[in-house]
């Protein structure tokens, strides 16, 4: 197929953003038109990515839909291409973006035009991260996301938005600059930043450790891993609902994707060497942040800490380097993308109505918002990994993978599962059940039509992939097997070299 | 006796004639400021055409004391072009601040002549003559608003410190001449080696003088005060144009006469670079005056340029030239935004005056946003590519420490750039600024914002231009 479908998917939101940027006229008309343009571009992008999935060939582990254009005087080319792993992330991104736009249209009260531009630009940059097959292009998209996200938090955020936006920006920037040094070093060591060629050839072992650490510093901040996770609760709490959804559902996944694609693919020896470090940090993240989540009285903060814990599972799965673990971590990322988006939207629903995120402001919501109570329950149960929801599939596989590598890690991670159940159910009980203690919330209305559609689509996907996750496995299966084979081959190649 | 090759120095000859005839014009016709500044702009444009028509092969004339090569042509075009844009964008400011005297464009033109001589010089004497011509003009420009105490102070401060630096530079030149027996760059290069201790001593003095001119730490003390005190139009000029000539001379000195003793000067340049990056990043954090902040910002940027210079490779030079070009574009835009900060024809310089700009002037706020993120070096804007090339060159020669310090200071400096963005976008709006923008100002601001924004689409355009540049 000659049609550059990946470029189209990446740049359609940007074109939409440009159209919104140039619309002029009466404020009311401009806002209405911008909304239509944003909805139209993001939805058409979603359908285009479904089309991409349809054309996607499950039977090969090679990169597909490859595009290459001369870009920087020939030595760095604009290369795009996807395999099974990136395919799922693209779908997740194009699915979440319209949800953000729908929710933003309802809850954002001022500068709606700028907000839609920021979200669409953000979508372009996130898709670019998952499609790029050149380290420099990857870095460009990865870092470019800072600008719109900084503005989304800073302009439309809550009372402490300036502090949170600065913290988010500086933390992630500091983490990423080391990755830039590593990328340039790779260019001078191997003569290329082309990912396909780097995956084939081997980066010399003596360089791998430092390069791995440089990439790790960037991904660990973005993921986020303990102890550099502190920007996340602040950013989540202060960001508007749509911003939190993007952050939790996609931005964090960029780091997980980076671990799989780059840390494992390019530096197998170093990955093997540093696996204990990852396990220790992930276990601390799971148990410590779950305990912190138990103590939160702010709903968004609680969900933010639970994100850190869930991402701890993801890193354990990735570095267990077993097929179950890796597939589990990808499924976990997908389902966390859906569930955390759903939970943040749930908080957004009551926040839009009563303007409080405190758990203590609510209680007894089931009496006035029965529909809301139902969807919130489904998402709560999905978050704690109830069988039948997509959360279970991921968590279960991760634990199976971890068990093969290290029993202690698996046992400690299972404690996390219990803690998640504890704080999620407690949250649900305090917000939904009980008597209405706060008379002011009696005025709150139940879900409106748009919200019902948004939640229905999320509930459907979470339950569907909980019962029938096969389409997801089909897509990633061969790519994951190939990744593990390459990894083992590289590892034994280096071991042979050492022994001789 | 060979014929004097006038053809090769046409731009210089033309500029000299233009300066003198404009001076006569200004003296004999009353109230001729508008005419003179228009003719200045036209003669700059014509000089660009003359420079572009110069032969592309390397020519050394006047007993090999004057060189025309790709580097000098590129740098001359940059100088003339950006001077043109600076004059265009500061027109409104000049008119409103009572500095619309005929001397203003003429002195600028004279300093441009000095810079062009510096860029092409291939001999210590020619170099010094060019340097003095431009420096003397700059002293006058700094104190151009005579009735203003701050402006006079800036001029005086600049004069005293710069004269000292010139003295050191001249002393260095004489040491070099004394120990190598020549003022010609090429002869110096052949006679200079590490055993020649006296000449190495001279190199240090020359580097100090040049570092002063580009305001590298620890010779930067003058620049925040001069930037703040001078009229903004002059600050804009200072931030852009003299840097081109100074950087180009820096490249020429390090890579032609001193290339054989690279081990001696490399450490000095690395020190200057690291110190400038750190001071430029840290000292700017507390600034309230935007011109002062731009001074520290340009100190930091010169630190990055020096990092490229320290590599001693051809990639290093090319990265410096690319960095310089993008730096010029960004600063042109940034000062364009500063020129827009006026209410009822009074110009404001405080960062807090920008508060809530996005509400009243969305387009201006957006271009300021792009420029500031670009100055901070955030991809995919042009400023990122500038830094990217520098660090490509730095890491090629395995100076990892320099690269990591440079990138960490990027993060620190990002803080004060996004602080301005915070004021623009997150704070509550104040009274709106005037909307009667000058046409030239609008053009240069739009041009620089668009270039910064779309540079990522085809970054080869600059690298292709620069890749043929070598230093002779």
User: How confident is the model over A351-369, as pLDDT tens digits?
Assistant: 888 888 888 888 777 878 8
The DSSP 8-state label assigned to residue B337 in this structure reads: H
Chain A residues within 8 A of B425 when measuring between CB atoms: 151, 154-155
CA pair distance A53, A88, nearest whole angstrom: 9
Counting Cα atoms < 13 Å in the Cβ hemisphere of A257 gives 30
The answer to whether the CB atoms of B415 and A166 lie below 8 A apart is yes
Q: Phi first, then psi: give them for residue A394, nearest 5 degrees.
A: -65, -50
B101 — alpha (psi -120 to 50), left (phi > 0) or beta?
beta
Residue B282 in any domain: the answer is: yes
- Please tell me which residue, A496 or A173, carries the higher pLDDT value: A173
Mutation target to probe the B interface, by most B beta carbons within 10 A, among A73, A126, A171, A179 is: A73
Q: B111 near B140, Cβ under 8 Å?
A: no
The answer to whether the CB atoms of A181 and B414 lie below 8 A apart is no
**Nearest neighbour of A71 by CB, restricted to B411, B418, B460:** B460
Positive or negative torsion for Cα A358, A363, A369, A374: positive
Q: Which domain range does residue B260 map to?
A: 6-467
Q: What is the pLDDT of residue B119?
A: 92
Question: How close, in Å, is residue A357 to chain B by CA atoms?
Answer: 22
The answer to whether the CB atoms of A161 and B380 lie below 8 A apart is no
pLDDT in tens, chain B (472 residues): 466 777 888 899 999 999 999 999 988 988 888 899 999 999 999 999 999 988 778 888 888 888 988 899 999 999 999 999 999 988 888 888 888 888 899 999 999 999 999 999 999 999 999 999 999 999 999 888 888 888 888 889 999 999 999 999 999 999 999 988 888 988 888 888 877 888 888 899 999 999 998 889 888 889 999 999 888 999 999 999 999 999 999 999 888 888 888 888 899 999 999 999 999 999 988 889 999 999 999 999 999 999 999 998 888 999 999 999 999 999 999 999 998 888 888 888 888 888 888 888 888 899 999 999 999 988 889 999 999 999 999 998 888 899 889 988 999 999 999 899 988 888 888 888 888 778 888 899 999 999 999 988 888 888 888 888 887 7
CA pair distance B385, B398, nearest whole angstrom: 20
CA distances (Å), origin B39, targets A326, B22, B116, B253, B414: 70, 8, 19, 34, 40
Within 8 A by CB and 6+ apart from B317, the residues are: B71, B251, B255, B308, B309, B469, B470, B471
Task: Give CA angle at A83 (A79, A86), nearest 5°.
Answer: 85
Average pLDDT for chain A: 87
Q: Supply the DSSP string of B88-143, one letter for each residue.
A: HHTHHHHHHTT---THHHHHHHHHHHHHHHHHHB-BHHHHHHHHHHHHHHHHHHHT
pLDDT at A488 exceeding the cut of 90: no
- Omega before residue B449 within 30° of 0, cis: no
pLDDT digits (tens, 9 = 90+) for A315-351: 999 998 888 889 999 999 999 999 999 998 888 888 8
Give the position of tokens 């260095």.
B172
CA pair distance A239, A13, nearest whole angstrom: 22
Q: Phi first, then psi: give them for residue A228, nearest 5 degrees.
A: -105, 30
Residue B287 in any domain: the answer is: yes
CA pair distance B365, A155, nearest whole angstrom: 13
Element (H, E) at A80: strand A76-82
Residue B1 in any domain: the answer is: no
The answer to whether the CB atoms of B464 and A188 lie below 8 A apart is no
Q: A318 near A260, Cβ under 8 Å?
A: yes
The answer to whether the CB atoms of B378 and A143 lie below 8 A apart is yes
The pLDDT confidence band at residue A264, using thresholds 50, 70 and 90, is confident
Q: What is the pLDDT of residue B435?
A: 82
The answer to whether the CB atoms of B426 and A161 lie below 8 A apart is yes
CA pair distance A139, B312, nearest whole angstrom: 27
Q: Which residues pair with A106 in a beta bridge?
A: none
CA distances (Å), origin A3, targets A6, A7, A65, A131, A322: 9, 9, 9, 15, 36
- Interchain CB contact of B6 with A (< 8 Å): no
The answer to whether the CB atoms of B395 and A181 lie below 8 A apart is yes
**Residue (of B327, B302, B306) closest to B382 by Cα position:** B327
Residue B440 in any domain: the answer is: yes
Q: What is the pLDDT of residue B19?
A: 93
**Residue (of B114, B122, B58) closest to B83 by Cα position:** B114
Q: What is the pLDDT of residue B346?
A: 84
Q: What is the pLDDT of residue B63?
A: 84
Chain A residues within 8 A of B395 when measuring between CB atoms: 181, 184-185, 188
CA distances (Å), origin A259, targets A101, A279, A315: 29, 14, 8
**Helices A205-222 and A161-190, packing angle to 10 deg:** 160
Residue B472 in any domain: the answer is: no
- Omega before residue A320 within 30° of 0, cis: no
Element (H, E) at B27: helix B10-28
Query: What average pLDDT does the segment A174-187 reach?
Result: 89
In chain B, the number of structural domains is: 1
CA pair distance B226, B291, nearest whole angstrom: 10
Which residues of A make CB contacts under 8 Å with B? 70-74, 114, 136, 139-141, 143-144, 146-147, 150-151, 154-155, 161-162, 165-166, 169-170, 173-174, 177-178, 180-181, 184-185, 187-188
pLDDT at A201 exceeding the cut of 80: no
**Residue (of B353, B381, B347, B361) closest to B450 by Cα position:** B381
The pLDDT confidence band at residue A74, using thresholds 50, 70 and 90, is low
Query: What average pLDDT does the segment A249-277 reach?
Result: 89
Q: Phi first, then psi: give them for residue B466, nearest 5 degrees.
A: -85, -25
Q: What is the pLDDT of residue B1?
A: 47
CA pair distance A233, A295, nearest whole angstrom: 13
Total-model pTM: 0.92
Within 8 A by CB and 6+ apart from B393, the residues are: B308, B311, B313, B315, B316, B318, B319
Query: What average pLDDT does the segment A387-406 reach?
Result: 88
The answer to whether the CB atoms of A147 and B373 lie below 8 A apart is yes
The answer to whether the CB atoms of B408 and A177 lie below 8 A apart is yes
CA pair distance A227, A440, nearest whole angstrom: 39
Residue B449 in any domain: the answer is: yes
Residue B430 in any domain: the answer is: yes
pLDDT digits (tens, 9 = 90+) for A96-153: 999 888 888 888 888 888 888 999 999 999 999 999 988 999 999 999 888 999 999 9
pLDDT digits (tens, 9 = 90+) for A274-303: 999 999 999 998 899 899 988 888 888 888
Q: A240 near A122, Cβ under 8 Å?
A: no
Q: What is the pLDDT of residue B111?
A: 94
Among chain A residues, CA nearest to B424: A155
pLDDT digits (tens, 9 = 90+) for B105-141: 999 999 999 999 999 999 999 999 999 999 999 999 9
**Residue (of A200, A146, A7) closest to A90 by Cα position:** A7
């Amino acid at each position: 197929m000659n049609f550059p479908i990946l470029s189209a998917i990446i740049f359609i939101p940007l074109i939409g953003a440009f159209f919104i940027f140039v619309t002029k006229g009466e404020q009311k008309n401009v806002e209405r038109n911008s909304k239509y343009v944003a909805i139209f571009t993001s939805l058409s992008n979603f359908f285009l990515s479904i089309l991409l999935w349809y054309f996607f060939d499950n039977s090969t582990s090679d990169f597909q839909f490859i595009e290459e254009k001369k870009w920087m005087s020939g030595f760095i080319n604009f290369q795009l291409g996807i395999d099974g792993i990136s395919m799922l992330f693209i779908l997740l991104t194009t699915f979440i973006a319209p949800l953000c736009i729908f929710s933003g249209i309802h809850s954002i009260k001022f500068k709606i035009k700028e907000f839609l531009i920021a979200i669409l630009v953000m979508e372009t940059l996130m898709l670019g991260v998952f499609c790029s097959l050149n380290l420099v292009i990857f870095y460009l998209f990865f870092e470019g996301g800072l600008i719109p996200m900084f503005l989304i938090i800073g302009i439309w955020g809550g009372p402490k938005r300036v502090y949170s936006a600065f913290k988010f920006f500086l933390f992630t920037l500091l983490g990423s600059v080391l990755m830039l040094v590593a990328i340039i070093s790779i260019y001078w060591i191997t003569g290329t930043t082309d990912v396909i060629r780097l995956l084939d050839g081997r980066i010399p072992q003596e360089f791998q450790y430092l390069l791995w650490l440089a990439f790790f510093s960037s991904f660990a901040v973005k993921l986020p891993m303990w102890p550099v996770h502190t920007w996340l609760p602040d950013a989540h709490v202060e960001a508007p609902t749509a911003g939190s959804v993007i952050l939790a559902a996609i931005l964090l996944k960029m780091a997980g994707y980076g671990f799989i694609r780059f840390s494992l693919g390019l530096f197998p020896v170093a990955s093997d060497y540093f696996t204990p470090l990852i396990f220790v940090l992930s276990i601390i993240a799971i148990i410590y942040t779950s305990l912190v989540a138990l103590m939160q009285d702010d709903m968004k903060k609680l969900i933010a800490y639970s994100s850190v814990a869930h991402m701890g599972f993801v890193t354990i799965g990735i570095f267990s380097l077993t097929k179950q673990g890796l597939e589990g971590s990808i499924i976990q990322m997908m389902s966390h993308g859906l569930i955390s988006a759903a939970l943040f939207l749930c908080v957004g629903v009551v926040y839009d109505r009563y303007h409080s995120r405190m758990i203590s402001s609510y209680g007894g919501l089931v009496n006035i918002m029965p529909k809301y109570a139902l969807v919130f329950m489904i998402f709560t149960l999905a978050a704690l990994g109830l069988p039948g929801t997509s959360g279970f599939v991921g968590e279960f596989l991760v634990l199976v993978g971890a068990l093969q590598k290290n029993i202690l890690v698996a046992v400690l991670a299972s404690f996390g599962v219990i803690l998640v159940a504890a704080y999620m159910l407690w949250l649900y009980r305090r917000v939904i059940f009980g008597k209405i203690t706060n008379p002011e919330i009696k005025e709150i209305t139940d879900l409106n039509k748009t919200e019902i559609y948004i939640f229905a689509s999320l509930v459907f996907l979470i339950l569907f992939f909980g019962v029938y996750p096969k389409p997801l496995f089909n897509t990633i299966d061969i790519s994951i097997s190939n990744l593990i084979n390459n990894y083992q081959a590289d590892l034994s190649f280096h071991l042979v070299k050492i022994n001789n | 006796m060979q014929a004097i090759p006038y053809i090769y120095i046409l731009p210089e000859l033309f500029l000299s004639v233009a300066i003198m005839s404009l001076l006569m014009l200004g003296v004999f016709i009353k109230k001729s400021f508008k005419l003179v500044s228009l003719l200045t702009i036209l003669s700059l444009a014509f000089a660009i055409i003359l420079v572009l028509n110069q032969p592309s092969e390397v020519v050394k004339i006047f007993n090999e004391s004057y060189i025309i090569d790709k580097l000098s042509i590129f740098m001359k075009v940059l100088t003339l072009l950006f001077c043109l844009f600076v004059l265009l964008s500061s027109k409104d400011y000049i008119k409103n601040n009572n500095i619309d005297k005929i001397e203003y464009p003429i002195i600028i033109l004279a300093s441009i002549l000095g810079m062009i001589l510096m860029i092409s010089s291939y001999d210590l004497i020619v170099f010094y003559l060019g340097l003095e011509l431009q420096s003397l003009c700059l002293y006058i420009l700094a104190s151009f608003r005579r009735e203003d105490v701050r402006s006079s102070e800036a001029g005086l401060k600049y004069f005293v410190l710069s004269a000292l630096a010139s003295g050191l530079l001249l002393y260095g030149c004489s040491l070099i001449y004394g120990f190598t027996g020549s003022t010609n760059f090429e002869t110096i290069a052949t006679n200079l080696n590490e055993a020649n201790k006296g000449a190495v001593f001279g190199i240090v003095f020359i580097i100090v003088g040049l570092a002063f001119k580009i305001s590298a730490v620890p010779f930067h003390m003058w620049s925040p005060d001069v930037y703040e005190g001078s009229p903004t139009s002059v600050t804009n000029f200072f931030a852009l144009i003299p840097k081109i000539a100074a950087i180009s001379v820096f490249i020429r000195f390090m890579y032609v006469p001193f290339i054989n003793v690279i081990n001696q000067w490399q450490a000095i340049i690395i020190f200057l670079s690291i110190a400038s990056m750190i001071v430029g990043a840290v000292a700017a954090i507390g600034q309230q005056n935007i011109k002062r902040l731009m001074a520290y910002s340009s100190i930091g940027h010169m630190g990055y340029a020096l990092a490229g210079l320290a590599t001693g490779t051809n990639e290093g030079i090319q990265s410096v030239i690319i960095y310089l070009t993008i730096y010029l574009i960004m600063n042109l835009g940034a000062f364009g935004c500063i020129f827009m900060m006026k209410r009822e024809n009074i110009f404001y310089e405080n960062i807090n005056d920008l508060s809530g700009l996005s509400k009243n002037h969305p387009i201006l706020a957006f271009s300021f946003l792009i420029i500031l993120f670009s100055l901070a070096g955030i991809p995919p804007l042009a400023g990122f590519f500038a830094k990217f090339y520098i660090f490509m060159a730095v890491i090629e020669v395995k100076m990892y420490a320099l690269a990591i310090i440079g990138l960490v200071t990027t993060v620190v400096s990002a803080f004060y750039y996004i602080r301005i963005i915070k004021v623009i976008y997150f704070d509550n709006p104040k009274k709106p600024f005037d909307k009667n923008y000058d046409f030239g100002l609008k053009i240069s601001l739009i041009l620089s914002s668009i270039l910064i924004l779309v540079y990522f689409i085809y970054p080869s355009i600059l690298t292709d231009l620069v890749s043929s540049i070598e230093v002779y």
